[in-house]
Amino acid sequence: MRRTLSLFVIVLLVGIFAFPSVSFGVMSSTNYTIFSDSIDAGGILSTSGTYSLEDTLGESPAGTSTGGVYEVLGGYQAMDWSVLVVEVSSTTLDLGTLSVLTVESTSTIFSVTADASTGYVLSVGSVSGTSLTAVTDGTVTAGSQEYGVAVSGVDRAFSDDRGIAAGLNLSSSSTAVVSAETTLTFKAAISSATTAGSRSQTVTISASTNI
């Protein structure tokens, strides 16, 4: 039996850039900001082609100190701003006309580059709109009214089908990454009792560095 029901999903991306706290002593005026300074014997910015190197000489104290769950990164170079770059292959997804006989699916790919030594987190920030009943048993099944998302990629947080809700962790890494890909596959199925019509949903995805 085929019922006329379509589902659209709009995926939005919000980047949360985690920077060191203002307790480090950021100095600013109307048009300028000195993010950090140091007491040292010298230093220079060297460039070559597309690469650059900024160094300091004779700085003290510098290095890493740890105690329990805390870590202190000492020195001017440890104050660098973290870089987070996220690319999305598609932000408008169409699951088409659903049938009780099949599970419809569509995917989008997130590519993350984060230079923070402690990595990144990709998660669902918010969800709005109308959709089908969220999957609860780990698998979207034909003939049942269910809707959810599956995740694939090295950094994936889970491998089954999950209901889409704010706070759902999609992927993460505890180290810096370059072009780490996470594929989100949205899945939907209906039953013979599903009301015909159209559904649409907006899912906001949040990306942040771990600092």
Per-residue pLDDT tens for 59-70? Answer: 666 666 677 766
Query: Is the Cβ–Cβ distance between 91 and 181 less than 8 Å?
Result: no
> Which secondary-structure segment (H or E) carries 63?
strand 63-67
Domain boundaries, the chain: 5-18+84-209, 22-79
Please tell me whether the overall predicted TM-score, pTM, comes out greater than 0.75 for this model: no
pLDDT tens-digit profile of 86-100? 999 999 999 888 889
Question: How does residue 120 score in pLDDT terms, banded at 50, 70 and 90?
Answer: very high
CA 179 from chain centre, in angstroms, equals 12
User: Which DSSP category does 23 fall into?
Assistant: G
Q: Which range (2-6, 28-32, 49-53, 160-164) has the least confidence?
A: 2-6
124 C-beta neighbours (distance < 10 Å), count = 20
CA distances from 197 to 104, 128, 190 (A): 16, 18, 12
At the second CATH level, the architecture of 5-18+84-209 is Sandwich (2.60)
**Is 145 exposed, middle or buried, given 0-12, 13-18 or 19+ CB atoms closer than 10 A?**
buried
Other beta carbons within 10 angstroms of residue 132's beta carbon come to 22
